[in-house]
Amino acid sequence: MALPTVNPTKTNSWGKLKAHFEAIKDVHMKDLFAKDENRANTFKIEWDDFYVDFSKNRITEETFKYLLELADEVKLKEAIESQFSGEIINQTEGRAVLHSALRAPESYNVKVDGENVIPEVHKVKRKIEAFTNEVVNGDRKGYTGKPFTDIVNIGIGGSDLGPAMVVDSLQYYKNHLTTHFVSNVDGDHVNEVIKKLNPETTLFVVVSKTFTTQETLSNANTIKSWFLKHANEADIAKHFVAVSTNIDSVKNFGIDPNNIFPMWDWVGGRFSLWSAVGLSISLAVGYDNYDALLSGAYKMDEHFKSEDFDSNIPVVLALISIWYNNFFGAESEAVIPYSQYLNQFATYLQQGIMESNGKSIDRNGYPIDYETGTLIWGEPGTNSQHAFFQLIHQGTKLIPADFIGFTKSLHGNQDHQDKLMSNFLAQTEALLNGKTKDEVVSEGTPEAIIPFKIFQGNKPTNTIFINKLSPESLGKLIAMYEHKIFVQGVIWNIFSYDQFGVELGKQLASKILQEFNNQSVNNHDSSTSNLLEYYKKSR
Protein backbone atom coordinates (compact mmCIF):
# COMPACT_ATOMS: atom_id res chain seq x y z
CA MET A 1 0.00 0.00 0.00
CA ALA A 2 1.38 3.40 -0.99
CA LEU A 3 1.33 6.47 1.21
CA PRO A 4 -1.90 8.49 1.09
CA THR A 5 -1.81 11.36 -1.39
CA VAL A 6 -3.92 14.03 0.24
CA ASN A 7 -3.24 17.65 -0.70
CA PRO A 8 -3.14 19.20 2.78
CA THR A 9 -4.38 22.57 1.58
CA LYS A 10 -7.59 20.99 0.30
CA THR A 11 -8.55 19.51 3.67
CA ASN A 12 -11.26 20.93 5.91
CA SER A 13 -8.83 21.39 8.75
CA TRP A 14 -6.48 23.48 6.55
CA GLY A 15 -9.39 25.78 5.80
CA LYS A 16 -10.19 26.03 9.49
CA LEU A 17 -6.54 26.71 10.33
CA LYS A 18 -6.41 29.47 7.71
CA ALA A 19 -9.42 31.25 9.14
CA HIS A 20 -8.21 30.66 12.68
CA PHE A 21 -4.77 32.02 11.81
CA GLU A 22 -6.35 35.33 10.75
CA ALA A 23 -8.07 35.49 14.13
CA ILE A 24 -5.04 34.76 16.29
CA LYS A 25 -2.00 35.84 14.33
CA ASP A 26 -1.51 38.96 16.44
CA VAL A 27 -2.44 37.46 19.79
CA HIS A 28 0.42 37.70 22.26
CA MET A 29 1.39 34.52 24.10
CA LYS A 30 1.74 36.63 27.22
CA ASP A 31 -2.02 37.19 27.14
CA LEU A 32 -2.69 33.50 26.54
CA PHE A 33 -0.70 32.69 29.66
CA ALA A 34 -2.45 35.43 31.63
CA LYS A 35 -5.87 34.09 30.64
CA ASP A 36 -5.20 30.45 31.41
CA GLU A 37 -3.21 29.55 34.48
CA ASN A 38 -3.24 25.91 33.45
CA ARG A 39 -1.71 26.55 30.00
CA ALA A 40 1.72 25.13 30.87
CA ASN A 41 0.07 21.89 31.99
CA THR A 42 -2.24 21.67 28.99
CA PHE A 43 0.58 21.94 26.48
CA LYS A 44 3.17 19.57 27.83
CA ILE A 45 4.10 15.93 27.37
CA GLU A 46 5.91 13.92 30.01
CA TRP A 47 7.27 10.65 28.68
CA ASP A 48 10.05 8.51 30.11
CA ASP A 49 12.92 10.87 30.90
CA PHE A 50 11.55 13.56 28.53
CA TYR A 51 9.56 16.63 29.54
CA VAL A 52 8.35 18.54 26.49
CA ASP A 53 6.77 21.93 27.14
CA PHE A 54 5.14 23.34 24.03
CA SER A 55 3.07 25.96 25.80
CA LYS A 56 5.34 28.81 24.65
CA ASN A 57 3.85 28.61 21.17
CA ARG A 58 1.37 30.85 19.39
CA ILE A 59 -1.37 28.28 19.70
CA THR A 60 -4.63 27.88 21.54
CA GLU A 61 -6.62 24.74 22.26
CA GLU A 62 -8.52 25.50 19.08
CA THR A 63 -5.29 25.62 17.03
CA PHE A 64 -4.20 22.34 18.51
CA LYS A 65 -7.55 20.74 17.73
CA TYR A 66 -7.40 21.76 14.07
CA LEU A 67 -3.78 20.63 13.74
CA LEU A 68 -4.74 17.23 15.13
CA GLU A 69 -7.64 17.09 12.68
CA LEU A 70 -5.17 17.81 9.89
CA ALA A 71 -3.08 14.82 10.99
CA ASP A 72 -6.20 12.65 10.73
CA GLU A 73 -7.31 14.08 7.42
CA VAL A 74 -3.96 13.38 5.74
CA LYS A 75 -4.22 9.82 7.14
CA LEU A 76 -1.11 10.03 9.28
CA LYS A 77 -2.00 6.90 11.25
CA GLU A 78 -2.15 4.78 8.09
CA ALA A 79 1.12 6.33 6.88
CA ILE A 80 2.90 5.41 10.13
CA GLU A 81 1.66 1.85 9.84
CA SER A 82 2.82 1.67 6.22
CA GLN A 83 6.30 2.83 7.19
CA PHE A 84 6.79 0.47 10.11
CA SER A 85 5.40 -2.53 8.29
CA GLY A 86 7.93 -2.29 5.47
CA GLU A 87 5.71 -1.09 2.66
CA ILE A 88 7.39 0.54 -0.32
CA ILE A 89 6.79 4.10 0.84
CA ASN A 90 9.93 5.42 -0.88
CA GLN A 91 8.04 5.02 -4.14
CA THR A 92 10.36 7.08 -6.34
CA GLU A 93 13.21 4.68 -5.55
CA GLY A 94 10.99 1.62 -5.10
CA ARG A 95 12.16 0.95 -1.53
CA ALA A 96 10.84 0.38 1.96
CA VAL A 97 11.95 2.79 4.69
CA LEU A 98 12.98 0.73 7.66
CA HIS A 99 15.60 2.40 9.80
CA SER A 100 13.21 1.54 12.65
CA ALA A 101 13.83 -2.18 11.95
CA LEU A 102 17.51 -1.65 12.79
CA ARG A 103 16.65 -0.99 16.42
CA ALA A 104 13.78 -3.45 16.79
CA PRO A 105 14.17 -6.45 19.12
CA GLU A 106 15.01 -9.86 17.72
CA SER A 107 11.45 -11.06 18.33
CA TYR A 108 10.08 -8.62 15.74
CA ASN A 109 9.00 -9.61 12.29
CA VAL A 110 9.31 -6.96 9.58
CA LYS A 111 9.00 -8.17 6.04
CA VAL A 112 10.59 -6.74 2.93
CA ASP A 113 9.60 -8.59 -0.26
CA GLY A 114 8.03 -11.28 1.89
CA GLU A 115 11.16 -11.93 3.96
CA ASN A 116 11.67 -11.03 7.63
CA VAL A 117 14.70 -8.70 7.79
CA ILE A 118 15.15 -8.79 11.57
CA PRO A 119 17.33 -11.95 11.75
CA GLU A 120 19.77 -10.44 9.24
CA VAL A 121 19.82 -7.13 11.19
CA HIS A 122 20.73 -8.98 14.38
CA LYS A 123 23.34 -11.09 12.62
CA VAL A 124 25.11 -7.89 11.56
CA LYS A 125 24.73 -6.48 15.08
CA ARG A 126 26.51 -9.54 16.45
CA LYS A 127 29.29 -9.03 13.90
CA ILE A 128 29.58 -5.39 15.03
CA GLU A 129 29.70 -6.53 18.66
CA ALA A 130 32.39 -9.16 18.09
CA PHE A 131 34.50 -6.83 15.97
CA THR A 132 34.15 -3.95 18.45
CA ASN A 133 35.19 -6.12 21.37
CA GLU A 134 38.26 -7.43 19.55
CA VAL A 135 39.41 -3.93 18.63
CA VAL A 136 38.63 -2.33 22.00
CA ASN A 137 40.21 -5.17 23.98
CA GLY A 138 43.29 -5.09 21.80
CA ASP A 139 42.85 -8.67 20.56
CA ARG A 140 42.71 -7.50 16.96
CA LYS A 141 46.04 -6.07 15.96
CA GLY A 142 47.67 -4.14 13.14
CA TYR A 143 50.31 -5.40 10.70
CA THR A 144 53.19 -5.05 13.19
CA GLY A 145 51.30 -6.78 15.99
CA LYS A 146 50.29 -3.65 17.88
CA PRO A 147 46.73 -2.99 19.10
CA PHE A 148 44.78 -0.21 17.46
CA THR A 149 44.82 3.28 18.91
CA ASP A 150 43.00 5.26 16.19
CA ILE A 151 39.87 4.79 14.09
CA VAL A 152 39.25 6.76 10.90
CA ASN A 153 35.73 6.89 9.51
CA ILE A 154 35.85 7.65 5.79
CA GLY A 155 32.42 8.65 4.47
CA ILE A 156 30.25 11.65 3.65
CA GLY A 157 26.63 12.78 4.18
CA GLY A 158 24.75 10.11 6.07
CA SER A 159 27.89 7.98 6.16
CA ASP A 160 29.66 10.67 8.16
CA LEU A 161 27.31 13.13 9.85
CA GLY A 162 25.45 10.64 12.06
CA PRO A 163 28.51 8.75 13.35
CA ALA A 164 30.48 12.01 13.75
CA MET A 165 27.69 13.71 15.68
CA VAL A 166 27.04 10.73 17.96
CA VAL A 167 30.72 10.11 18.72
CA ASP A 168 31.12 13.78 19.59
CA SER A 169 27.93 13.86 21.64
CA LEU A 170 28.89 10.75 23.59
CA GLN A 171 32.52 11.67 24.19
CA TYR A 172 31.88 11.37 27.94
CA TYR A 173 31.36 7.63 27.37
CA LYS A 174 34.37 7.17 25.10
CA ASN A 175 37.09 4.58 25.48
CA HIS A 176 40.82 4.91 24.77
CA LEU A 177 40.47 4.84 20.96
CA THR A 178 40.82 8.17 19.16
CA THR A 179 38.23 8.60 16.41
CA HIS A 180 38.72 10.74 13.30
CA PHE A 181 36.36 11.60 10.47
CA VAL A 182 37.36 12.28 6.89
CA SER A 183 34.55 13.43 4.63
CA ASN A 184 35.34 16.38 2.37
CA VAL A 185 37.00 15.76 -1.01
CA ASP A 186 39.14 18.76 -0.07
CA GLY A 187 42.57 17.11 0.08
CA ASP A 188 43.55 19.32 2.98
CA HIS A 189 40.97 17.52 5.11
CA VAL A 190 42.39 14.04 4.57
CA ASN A 191 45.98 15.29 4.83
CA GLU A 192 45.35 16.98 8.14
CA VAL A 193 43.94 13.71 9.51
CA ILE A 194 46.76 11.59 8.05
CA LYS A 195 49.28 13.88 9.81
CA LYS A 196 48.01 12.59 13.14
CA LEU A 197 48.11 8.87 12.30
CA ASN A 198 50.45 5.98 12.80
CA PRO A 199 49.75 3.40 10.05
CA GLU A 200 50.68 0.54 12.39
CA THR A 201 47.90 1.32 14.85
CA THR A 202 45.13 2.86 12.74
CA LEU A 203 41.96 1.14 11.61
CA PHE A 204 40.10 2.59 8.62
CA VAL A 205 36.35 2.22 8.30
CA VAL A 206 35.22 3.04 4.76
CA VAL A 207 31.50 3.81 4.88
CA SER A 208 29.52 4.21 1.70
CA LYS A 209 26.10 2.77 1.08
CA THR A 210 26.64 2.89 -2.69
CA PHE A 211 30.45 2.69 -2.72
CA THR A 212 30.37 5.04 -5.71
CA THR A 213 30.60 8.38 -3.90
CA GLN A 214 33.43 10.49 -5.30
CA GLU A 215 34.49 12.02 -2.00
CA THR A 216 34.65 8.74 -0.09
CA LEU A 217 36.41 6.77 -2.78
CA SER A 218 38.96 9.56 -3.34
CA ASN A 219 39.71 9.76 0.36
CA ALA A 220 39.83 5.98 0.74
CA ASN A 221 42.25 5.69 -2.20
CA THR A 222 44.46 8.50 -0.87
CA ILE A 223 44.60 6.83 2.52
CA LYS A 224 45.26 3.43 0.97
CA SER A 225 48.21 4.84 -1.04
CA TRP A 226 49.60 6.45 2.13
CA PHE A 227 49.15 3.21 4.03
CA LEU A 228 50.93 1.21 1.31
CA LYS A 229 53.99 3.44 1.64
CA HIS A 230 54.40 1.85 5.07
CA ALA A 231 52.87 -1.60 4.67
CA ASN A 232 52.15 -4.32 2.09
CA GLU A 233 49.01 -5.11 0.09
CA ALA A 234 48.38 -8.12 2.32
CA ASP A 235 48.22 -5.81 5.36
CA ILE A 236 45.16 -4.01 3.98
CA ALA A 237 43.02 -6.87 5.29
CA LYS A 238 44.09 -6.03 8.84
CA HIS A 239 43.53 -2.27 8.60
CA PHE A 240 40.58 -1.62 6.27
CA VAL A 241 36.95 -2.53 6.83
CA ALA A 242 33.93 -1.35 4.89
CA VAL A 243 30.22 -0.74 5.40
CA SER A 244 28.23 -0.90 2.18
CA THR A 245 25.43 -2.46 0.15
CA ASN A 246 27.78 -2.74 -2.83
CA ILE A 247 29.81 -5.79 -1.89
CA ASP A 248 31.47 -6.26 -5.32
CA SER A 249 32.90 -2.73 -5.41
CA VAL A 250 34.20 -3.10 -1.85
CA LYS A 251 36.01 -6.30 -2.85
CA ASN A 252 37.44 -4.56 -5.93
CA PHE A 253 38.82 -1.87 -3.65
CA GLY A 254 40.84 -4.63 -1.98
CA ILE A 255 38.97 -5.09 1.27
CA ASP A 256 38.79 -8.60 2.69
CA PRO A 257 35.20 -9.96 2.33
CA ASN A 258 35.30 -10.89 6.04
CA ASN A 259 35.75 -7.21 6.81
CA ILE A 260 32.58 -6.12 5.04
CA PHE A 261 29.62 -5.04 7.14
CA PRO A 262 26.52 -5.17 4.99
CA MET A 263 23.63 -2.73 4.99
CA TRP A 264 20.45 -2.64 2.98
CA ASP A 265 18.77 -0.44 0.44
CA TRP A 266 15.78 0.01 2.77
CA VAL A 267 18.00 2.15 5.02
CA GLY A 268 18.35 5.72 3.78
CA GLY A 269 21.83 7.23 4.12
CA ARG A 270 20.67 10.00 6.44
CA PHE A 271 18.91 7.50 8.71
CA SER A 272 21.69 4.93 8.69
CA LEU A 273 23.65 5.49 11.89
CA TRP A 274 21.64 2.64 13.44
CA SER A 275 23.09 0.18 10.92
CA ALA A 276 26.72 -0.84 10.57
CA VAL A 277 27.26 2.76 9.41
CA GLY A 278 27.44 3.30 13.16
CA LEU A 279 30.45 0.97 13.47
CA SER A 280 32.69 3.92 14.40
CA ILE A 281 30.23 4.77 17.19
CA SER A 282 30.41 1.24 18.53
CA LEU A 283 34.21 1.31 18.37
CA ALA A 284 34.38 4.71 20.08
CA VAL A 285 31.99 4.09 22.98
CA GLY A 286 31.84 0.30 23.10
CA TYR A 287 29.12 -2.02 21.85
CA ASP A 288 26.92 -1.78 24.96
CA ASN A 289 26.63 1.97 24.63
CA TYR A 290 25.96 1.65 20.90
CA ASP A 291 23.24 -0.87 21.69
CA ALA A 292 21.78 1.48 24.33
CA LEU A 293 21.61 4.20 21.66
CA LEU A 294 19.55 1.84 19.52
CA SER A 295 17.34 0.87 22.48
CA GLY A 296 16.58 4.53 23.08
CA ALA A 297 15.55 4.98 19.47
CA TYR A 298 13.39 1.86 19.71
CA LYS A 299 11.58 3.32 22.74
CA MET A 300 10.85 6.47 20.76
CA ASP A 301 9.63 4.30 17.85
CA GLU A 302 7.16 2.59 20.17
CA HIS A 303 6.01 5.92 21.58
CA PHE A 304 5.54 7.31 18.07
CA LYS A 305 3.67 4.23 16.86
CA SER A 306 1.29 3.83 19.77
CA GLU A 307 0.76 7.16 21.53
CA ASP A 308 -2.32 9.22 20.73
CA PHE A 309 -1.40 12.14 18.53
CA ASP A 310 -2.20 14.77 21.18
CA SER A 311 0.53 13.37 23.43
CA ASN A 312 2.85 12.02 20.76
CA ILE A 313 6.06 14.05 20.90
CA PRO A 314 7.21 13.81 17.24
CA VAL A 315 3.65 14.37 15.98
CA VAL A 316 3.07 17.42 18.17
CA LEU A 317 6.43 18.97 17.25
CA ALA A 318 5.75 18.34 13.56
CA LEU A 319 2.29 19.93 13.72
CA ILE A 320 3.58 23.02 15.49
CA SER A 321 6.30 23.35 12.88
CA ILE A 322 3.68 23.11 10.09
CA TRP A 323 1.70 25.85 11.84
CA TYR A 324 4.63 28.28 11.65
CA ASN A 325 5.91 27.19 8.25
CA ASN A 326 2.60 27.17 6.41
CA PHE A 327 0.53 29.77 8.22
CA PHE A 328 2.94 32.25 9.82
CA GLY A 329 5.32 31.96 6.85
CA ALA A 330 8.33 31.18 9.07
CA GLU A 331 11.16 30.04 6.83
CA SER A 332 13.53 28.55 9.34
CA GLU A 333 13.75 26.83 12.69
CA ALA A 334 16.57 26.96 15.17
CA VAL A 335 17.69 24.02 17.29
CA ILE A 336 19.53 25.18 20.39
CA PRO A 337 20.93 22.45 22.62
CA TYR A 338 22.13 23.70 25.98
CA SER A 339 24.91 21.16 25.95
CA GLN A 340 28.29 21.59 24.36
CA TYR A 341 28.24 17.85 23.66
CA LEU A 342 25.53 18.47 21.05
CA ASN A 343 27.74 20.86 19.14
CA GLN A 344 27.21 18.98 15.87
CA PHE A 345 23.53 18.24 16.38
CA ALA A 346 22.09 20.98 14.15
CA THR A 347 24.56 20.15 11.38
CA TYR A 348 23.47 16.53 11.59
CA LEU A 349 19.78 17.49 11.50
CA GLN A 350 20.31 19.67 8.45
CA GLN A 351 20.83 16.63 6.24
CA GLY A 352 17.98 14.68 7.78
CA ILE A 353 15.50 17.52 7.54
CA MET A 354 16.52 19.39 4.42
CA GLU A 355 17.51 16.42 2.24
CA SER A 356 14.25 14.72 3.19
CA ASN A 357 11.74 17.52 2.95
CA GLY A 358 13.34 19.94 0.50
CA LYS A 359 10.88 18.89 -2.22
CA SER A 360 8.50 20.76 -4.51
CA ILE A 361 6.63 17.96 -6.29
CA ASP A 362 3.78 16.23 -4.49
CA ARG A 363 3.12 12.52 -4.23
CA ASN A 364 0.83 12.75 -7.25
CA GLY A 365 3.70 14.14 -9.32
CA TYR A 366 2.41 17.72 -9.44
CA PRO A 367 4.21 20.95 -8.51
CA ILE A 368 3.40 22.17 -5.03
CA ASP A 369 1.99 25.63 -4.34
CA TYR A 370 2.57 25.68 -0.58
CA GLU A 371 5.71 25.74 1.52
CA THR A 372 7.55 22.51 2.38
CA GLY A 373 10.87 21.84 4.18
CA THR A 374 12.17 24.20 6.82
CA LEU A 375 15.66 25.62 7.00
CA ILE A 376 17.38 24.23 10.06
CA TRP A 377 20.21 25.83 11.90
CA GLY A 378 21.56 26.26 15.39
CA GLU A 379 24.44 26.11 17.80
CA PRO A 380 24.66 25.25 21.47
CA GLY A 381 23.60 27.73 24.11
CA THR A 382 25.06 29.70 25.75
CA ASN A 383 27.52 30.36 22.89
CA SER A 384 24.71 31.13 20.46
CA GLN A 385 23.32 33.78 22.86
CA HIS A 386 26.49 35.74 22.15
CA ALA A 387 26.23 35.15 18.41
CA PHE A 388 22.86 35.15 16.67
CA PHE A 389 20.28 35.49 19.44
CA GLN A 390 20.01 39.24 18.82
CA LEU A 391 18.22 38.47 15.54
CA ILE A 392 15.83 36.02 17.18
CA HIS A 393 14.97 38.53 19.91
CA GLN A 394 14.73 41.78 17.98
CA GLY A 395 15.01 40.96 14.26
CA THR A 396 12.11 41.08 11.79
CA LYS A 397 11.96 37.34 11.22
CA LEU A 398 9.92 34.79 13.11
CA ILE A 399 12.22 31.93 14.11
CA PRO A 400 10.61 29.17 16.14
CA ALA A 401 13.23 27.38 18.19
CA ASP A 402 13.65 24.06 19.96
CA PHE A 403 15.56 24.45 23.20
CA ILE A 404 17.04 21.13 24.33
CA GLY A 405 18.43 20.83 27.84
CA PHE A 406 19.62 18.13 30.21
CA THR A 407 18.56 18.56 33.80
CA LYS A 408 21.67 16.78 35.09
CA SER A 409 25.18 17.52 33.89
CA LEU A 410 27.58 14.66 33.27
CA HIS A 411 30.54 15.98 35.22
CA GLY A 412 28.32 17.14 38.05
CA ASN A 413 29.60 20.68 38.30
CA GLN A 414 26.39 22.11 39.77
CA ASP A 415 27.58 25.71 39.71
CA HIS A 416 28.08 25.59 35.93
CA GLN A 417 24.96 23.51 35.37
CA ASP A 418 22.77 26.00 37.25
CA LYS A 419 24.27 28.91 35.32
CA LEU A 420 23.72 27.05 32.06
CA MET A 421 20.10 26.21 32.80
CA SER A 422 19.30 29.64 34.19
CA ASN A 423 20.33 30.98 30.81
CA PHE A 424 18.16 28.39 29.07
CA LEU A 425 15.07 29.37 31.08
CA ALA A 426 15.81 33.07 30.87
CA GLN A 427 16.03 32.96 27.10
CA THR A 428 12.76 31.12 26.55
CA GLU A 429 11.07 33.44 29.05
CA ALA A 430 12.49 36.53 27.37
CA LEU A 431 11.45 35.27 23.95
CA LEU A 432 7.94 34.74 25.26
CA ASN A 433 7.41 37.95 27.21
CA GLY A 434 9.72 40.43 25.58
CA LYS A 435 10.08 43.80 27.29
CA THR A 436 7.46 46.53 27.15
CA LYS A 437 7.96 50.25 26.75
CA ASP A 438 6.83 50.76 30.35
CA GLU A 439 9.47 48.37 31.60
CA VAL A 440 12.15 50.11 29.57
CA VAL A 441 11.03 53.51 30.82
CA SER A 442 10.95 52.34 34.43
CA GLU A 443 14.65 51.48 34.13
CA GLY A 444 15.38 55.18 33.59
CA THR A 445 16.33 54.72 29.93
CA PRO A 446 16.97 58.01 28.09
CA GLU A 447 14.04 58.97 25.86
CA ALA A 448 15.93 58.59 22.55
CA ILE A 449 17.07 55.07 23.36
CA ILE A 450 13.73 53.69 24.50
CA PRO A 451 12.55 52.17 21.17
CA PHE A 452 15.79 50.25 20.76
CA LYS A 453 15.41 48.55 24.10
CA ILE A 454 11.88 47.27 23.58
CA PHE A 455 11.48 43.54 22.88
CA GLN A 456 8.22 42.49 21.21
CA GLY A 457 8.41 38.97 22.62
CA ASN A 458 5.86 36.47 21.30
CA LYS A 459 8.71 34.38 19.87
CA PRO A 460 7.85 30.70 20.01
CA THR A 461 9.96 28.00 21.61
CA ASN A 462 9.61 24.34 22.52
CA THR A 463 11.44 23.22 25.61
CA ILE A 464 12.73 19.66 25.50
CA PHE A 465 14.08 18.70 28.89
CA ILE A 466 15.83 15.36 29.16
CA ASN A 467 17.10 13.97 32.42
CA LYS A 468 20.67 13.26 31.35
CA LEU A 469 22.68 12.90 28.17
CA SER A 470 23.22 9.17 27.76
CA PRO A 471 23.44 6.82 24.77
CA GLU A 472 19.81 5.89 25.38
CA SER A 473 18.45 9.43 25.69
CA LEU A 474 20.43 10.53 22.63
CA GLY A 475 18.89 7.64 20.69
CA LYS A 476 15.45 8.85 21.70
CA LEU A 477 16.22 12.42 20.73
CA ILE A 478 17.53 11.53 17.27
CA ALA A 479 14.58 9.21 16.60
CA MET A 480 12.23 11.98 17.75
CA TYR A 481 13.49 14.24 14.96
CA GLU A 482 13.44 11.37 12.43
CA HIS A 483 9.75 10.86 13.10
CA LYS A 484 9.07 14.59 13.01
CA ILE A 485 10.59 14.60 9.50
CA PHE A 486 8.32 11.73 8.49
CA VAL A 487 5.16 13.37 9.83
CA GLN A 488 5.91 16.61 8.03
CA GLY A 489 6.62 14.78 4.77
CA VAL A 490 3.30 12.95 5.07
CA ILE A 491 1.41 16.19 5.70
CA TRP A 492 3.14 18.06 2.87
CA ASN A 493 2.32 15.13 0.58
CA ILE A 494 5.92 14.75 -0.58
CA PHE A 495 8.35 11.86 -0.86
CA SER A 496 10.79 12.34 2.01
CA TYR A 497 13.14 9.47 1.25
CA ASP A 498 14.70 10.26 -2.12
CA GLN A 499 17.32 12.94 -2.77
CA PHE A 500 17.42 13.53 -6.52
CA GLY A 501 18.24 17.17 -5.79
CA VAL A 502 21.85 16.33 -5.01
CA GLU A 503 22.45 14.59 -8.35
CA LEU A 504 22.63 17.48 -10.83
CA GLY A 505 25.61 19.14 -9.18
CA LYS A 506 27.42 15.78 -8.98
CA GLN A 507 26.93 15.18 -12.74
CA LEU A 508 28.14 18.66 -13.69
CA ALA A 509 31.16 18.36 -11.38
CA SER A 510 32.36 15.24 -13.14
CA LYS A 511 32.09 16.98 -16.56
CA ILE A 512 33.91 20.05 -15.28
CA LEU A 513 36.63 17.90 -13.73
CA GLN A 514 37.42 16.48 -17.17
CA GLU A 515 37.58 19.95 -18.64
CA PHE A 516 40.34 21.02 -16.25
CA ASN A 517 42.73 18.86 -18.26
CA ASN A 518 41.28 19.50 -21.74
CA GLN A 519 42.29 22.26 -24.12
CA SER A 520 38.76 23.42 -24.75
CA VAL A 521 35.84 23.83 -22.41
CA ASN A 522 32.23 22.91 -23.09
CA ASN A 523 29.32 25.16 -23.51
CA HIS A 524 28.77 26.88 -20.19
CA ASP A 525 27.15 30.14 -19.27
CA SER A 526 29.70 32.94 -19.59
CA SER A 527 30.20 33.25 -15.84
CA THR A 528 31.05 29.56 -15.41
CA SER A 529 33.31 29.62 -18.53
CA ASN A 530 35.26 32.62 -17.24
CA LEU A 531 35.67 31.12 -13.81
CA LEU A 532 36.71 27.77 -15.22
CA GLU A 533 39.38 29.37 -17.43
CA TYR A 534 40.56 31.53 -14.54
CA TYR A 535 40.86 28.47 -12.30
CA LYS A 536 42.75 26.51 -14.98
CA LYS A 537 45.27 29.33 -15.36
CA SER A 538 45.77 29.97 -11.68
CA ARG A 539 45.62 26.51 -10.08
Using the rule CB under 6 A, give the single segment among 87-95, 157-165, 369-377, 455-463 that binds ligand F6P: 157-165
Which of the following is catalytic: 195, 386, 411, 537?
Answer: 386
DSSP 128: H
Cross-sheet strand order for the sheet of 150-154? 178-182, 150-154, 202-207, 240-244, 260-262
Site for ligand F6P in 103-122 (CB under 6 A): none
Distance CA 220, CA 491 (A): 40
Nearer to ligand F6P, 199 or 278 (CB): 278
Nearer to ligand F6P, 157 or 380 (CB): 157
Site for ligand F6P in 185-224 (CB under 6 A): 208-210, 213, 216
Nearer to ligand F6P, 121 or 220 (CB): 220
Using the rule CB under 6 A, give the single segment among 153-161, 328-336, 407-415, 518-526 that binds ligand F6P: 153-161
Q: Is-catalytic flag, 355?
A: yes
List, in sequence order, every residue forming a beta bridge with 404; answer none if it has no partner: 337, 464
C-alpha dihedral, 358 to 360 to 365 to 369, nearest 10°: 140
For 116, the enclosing helix (H) or strand (E) is strand 115-116
What's the CA angle centered on 502, arms 498 and 505, to 5 degrees?
155
Which of the following is catalytic: 355, 379, 472, 482?
Answer: 355
Q: Is-catalytic flag, 506?
A: yes
> Does 158 engage in binding with ligand F6P (CB under 6 A)?
yes
Backbone angles phi, psi at 133, to 5 degrees: -60, -40
Q: How far is the CB of 5 from ligand F6P (least distance, A)?
A: 24
Q: How far is the CB of 264 from ligand F6P (least distance, A)?
A: 13
What SS3 class is residue 487? Answer: helix
- Are 189 and 358 a contacting pair, CB within 8 Å? no
Q: How far is the CB of 217 from ligand F6P (least distance, A)?
A: 8
Q: How far is the CB of 193 from ligand F6P (least distance, A)?
A: 18
Distance of CA 136 to the CA centre of its chain: 28
Environment class of 218 (CB within 10 Å of its CB; exposed 0-12, middle 13-18, buried 19+): middle
Nearer to ligand F6P, 277 or 404 (CB): 277
* Single residue of 56, 270, 359, 484 touching ligand F6P by CB under 6 A: 270
Q: How far is the CB of 496 from ligand F6P (least distance, A)?
A: 12
* Single residue of 269, 314, 337, 381 touching ligand F6P by CB under 6 A: 269
Nearer to ligand F6P, 158 or 475 (CB): 158
What is the Cα gyration radius of the chain? 25
> Does 157 engage in binding with ligand F6P (CB under 6 A)?
yes
- Are 317 and 119 a contacting pair, CB within 8 Å? no
Interface residues with ligand F6P (CB under 6 A)?
156-159, 208-210, 213, 216, 269-270, 355, 499, 502
- Catalytic site positions: 355, 386, 506
